[in-house]
Amino acid sequence: MPFKTRITELFGIEHPIIQGGMHYVGFAEMAAAVSEAGGLGIITGLTQGTPEKLAAEIARCREMTKKPFGVNLTFLPAVTPPDYPGFVDVIIKGGVKIVETAGNNPQKWLPALKEAGIKVIHKCTSVRHSLKAEQIGCDAVSVDGFECGGHPGEDDVPNFILLPRAAEELKIPFVASGGMADGRSLVAAMALGAEGMNMGTRFIATKEAPVHENVKQALVAASELDTRLIMRPLRNTERVLTNAAVERLLEKERTMGDKITFADIIEEVAGVYPRIMKEGEMDAGGWSCGMVAGLIHDIPTVKELIERTIAEAEALLKQRLAGYLV
């Protein structure tokens, strides 16, 4: 039985499950598989490299599914920024109706997206950023707890506190992100005030995820203790799966202290994604991975994962939790 929340209504999806926009994972195969299974699949815009390639990826995804899917656009501070106007243009022309924004404030791009009838969900790591997203006109937010893979922000507030705080303050709907793996995650997130969940790392360990088998096996093998926080001294904290390069980077941070610069760690973080995700070179550098790795024990199809999650959530609500009421 599908769940009905403000998130499913907003995005026209069957299940309140969103696949996060992940670098070198969010290709058409991944997004289409999630959307076909009743969730919301997301193509990662910047992974495609150019607006032309993103346009081609959107067209490819359209051939694989007739259901709604979105595009992630991460706004990063850069000396030479990506062609954001070009990316926004192809998203609009491609008929995409849902955009997940992340990184810097997306306010500058909202008028064009809104005019095209696009719903925007912004990824936030704090209540104050979530309120700002609501204020500037975002339709929903993805509230990212400290457990998450990638950039958890600098506040270190885990979801057990962050989600109910967001629920106290926000009027727009939000999904829980970080630590989400299964039906237990979904029920817990909804109990804390979210109206769905965003799964990133969990979706990498699926049959359809377009990444090297070594990456999937690394997630199955990892425990909840196997992630590390890197780039903390640079206030650009990222949660990654540990490996030889990550431990080498952390040693540099320990020895250099506050004198460390991005140039000192470039070897461990720059351009490593193709080597890891495509070639399966697991010690190439730091790659985003959530603590949720400890809850990943198999590599199902996306459909199996989503159906299992919904069935588990339903059983929890109707049986286990209901059984506690006397």
**Could you tell me what percent of the chain has a pLDDT over 70?**
100
Q: How far is residue 306 from each of residues 19, 210, 294, 313, measured CA to CA in Å?
A: 11, 18, 18, 11
Summarised one tens digit per residue, pLDDT across range 258-309 is 999 999 999 999 999 999 999 999 999 999 999 999 999 999 999 999 999 9
Asked whether the predicted pLDDT for residue 167 surpasses 90, the reply is yes
At 27, is the pLDDT very low, low, confident or very high (cuts 50, 70, 90)? very high
pLDDT at 2: 80
Name all contacts of 259-263 with Cβ < 8 Å and 24+ positions apart. Answer: 260/233, 260/234, 261/234, 262/234
pLDDT at 142: 98
pLDDT at 77: 81
Q: Are 105 and 122 in contact (CB under 8 A)?
A: no
**Average pLDDT, integer, range 27-55:** 98
All domains in the chain, ordered by first residue: 6-210 (3.20.20.70), 223-288 (no CATH)
Tell me the pLDDT of the chain averaged across its residues. 97
CA dihedral 313, 18, 286, 144 (to 10 degrees): -80
Reduced to 3 states (helix: H, G, I; strand: E, B; else coil), residue 93 is helix
- DSSP for 27-39 reads SHHHHHHHHHTTS
pTM metric for this prediction: 0.97
Copy the structure tokens of residue 251: 């040693």
pLDDT at 222: 98
Reduced to 3 states (helix: H, G, I; strand: E, B; else coil), residue 42 is strand
Copy the structure tokens of residue 321: 């939790």
Summarised one tens digit per residue, pLDDT across range 2-20 is 899 999 999 999 999 999 9
* Amino acid letter, residue 243: N
